[in-house]
């Protein structure tokens, strides 16, 4: 009953009036099978008042153990990337499209993604960031509702439109990808400078 789960997710997400309420609602939501294998709800980290919100794909092992996004190896690289433009977790807000780790870090199914979409979209509406940064192809495709690949999308401002708001969004390369392809750090660096300039 994926369609029923999506409807229920939309209704529940829409009923959240604050970020804390959204976290509460997600913690009791039983409509996504990923919750059954995950240890933690990985909701967010950083400053919900920040001008910039980063959206990744899904928690990995370390994130699932700690209940926080981007705390493993790719998170450490993300912290260094942010530091390179003078930001840290007090100056950004961080979440993921999926709040539960897919077992063994498998690729989430389209159904799982669509069941979780209302929650991340509501999360963006409640945080009201000035800018979104979409980390990696999976996040960019989901949030922008496009099938374009990350190499085409990255470095160009786009926009994420939810039921209530439209937010400028910059897709960039995922830190986990950069760990495997360090030569592409130069591209991510360009994107970071782009963001920095936009922040003024
Ligand atoms: N990769 C992601 O996309 N998100 C995390 O939180 C950790 C790794």
Per-residue pLDDT tens digits for 140-187: 999 999 999 999 999 999 999 999 999 999 999 999 999 999 999 999
- Residue with CA nearest ligand 1 atom 7: 70
HSE, side-chain direction, 13 A CA sphere, residue 155: 11
pLDDT tens per residue across span 52-74: 999 999 999 999 999 999 999 99
Substitution candidate for ligand 1 out of 38, 44, 58, 175 with most atoms within 8 A of CB: 58
What is the signed CA dihedral for 18, 15, 59, 85, rounded to 10 degrees?
-40
Alpha-carbon span 25 to 142, nearest angstrom: 22
Looking at the CA of residue 56, tell me the nearest atom of ligand 1.
3
Alpha-carbon span 18 to 55, nearest angstrom: 18
Instruction: Collapse the DSSP code of 103 into the 3-class scheme (helix H, G, I; strand E, B; otherwise coil) and give the result.
Output: helix
State if residue 56 touches ligand 1 by the CB under 6 angstroms criterion.
yes
The fraction of the chain above a pLDDT of 70, given in percent, is 100
Crossing angle of helices 110-127/19-28, nearest 10°? Answer: 160
Alpha-carbon span 148 to 161, nearest angstrom: 17
State if residue 108 touches ligand 1 by the CB under 6 angstroms criterion.
no
Alpha-carbon span 198 to 200, nearest angstrom: 5
Substitution candidate for ligand 1 out of 53, 55, 57 with most atoms within 8 A of CB: 57
Separation in Å, CA 93 to CA 3, 31, 45:
30, 26, 6
Q: Which two tokens stand for residue 47?
A: 């400053």
Contact of 155 with 170, CB cutoff 8 Å: yes
In the reported structure, the alpha carbon of residue 21 is separated from the centroid of ligand 1 by a whole-number distance in angstroms of: 23
Q: What is the reported pLDDT for 16?
A: 98
Q: What is the reported pLDDT for 6?
A: 97
Contact of 177 with 188, CB cutoff 8 Å: no
State if residue 63 touches ligand 1 by the CB under 6 angstroms criterion.
yes
In the reported structure, the alpha carbon of residue 181 is separated from the centroid of ligand 1 by a whole-number distance in angstroms of: 17
What average pLDDT score do residues 25-43 get? 98
Alpha-carbon span 172 to 58, nearest angstrom: 16
First to last CA, the chain: 47
Q: How many CB atoms lie within 10 A of CB 135?
A: 28
What average pLDDT score do residues 65-94 get? 98
Per DSSP, 67 falls in state T
């Amino acid at each position: 009953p994926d369609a029923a789960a999506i409807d229920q997710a939309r209704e529940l997400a829409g009923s959240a009036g604050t970020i804390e309420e959204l976290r509460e609602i997600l913690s009791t939501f039983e409509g996504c099978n990923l919750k059954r294998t995950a240890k933690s709800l990985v909701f967010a980290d950083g400053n919900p008042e920040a001008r910039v919100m980063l959206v990744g794909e899904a928690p990995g092992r370390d994130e699932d153990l700690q209940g926080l996004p981007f705390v493993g190896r790719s998170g450490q690289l993300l912290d260094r990337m942010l530091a390179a433009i003078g930001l840290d977790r007090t100056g950004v807000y961080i979440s993921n499209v999926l709040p539960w780790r897919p077992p063994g870090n498998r690729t989430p199914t389209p159904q799982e993604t669509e069941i979780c979409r209302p929650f991340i979209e509501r999360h963006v509406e409640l945080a009201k960031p000035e800018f979104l940064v979409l980390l990696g192809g999976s996040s960019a495709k989901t949030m922008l509702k496009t099938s374009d690949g990350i190499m085409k999308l990255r470095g160009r401002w786009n926009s994420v439109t939810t039921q209530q708001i439209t937010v400028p969004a910059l897709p960039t390369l995922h830190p986990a990808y950069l760990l495997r392809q360090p030569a592409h750090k130069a591209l991510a660096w360009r994107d970071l400078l782009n963001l920095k300039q936009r922040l003024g």
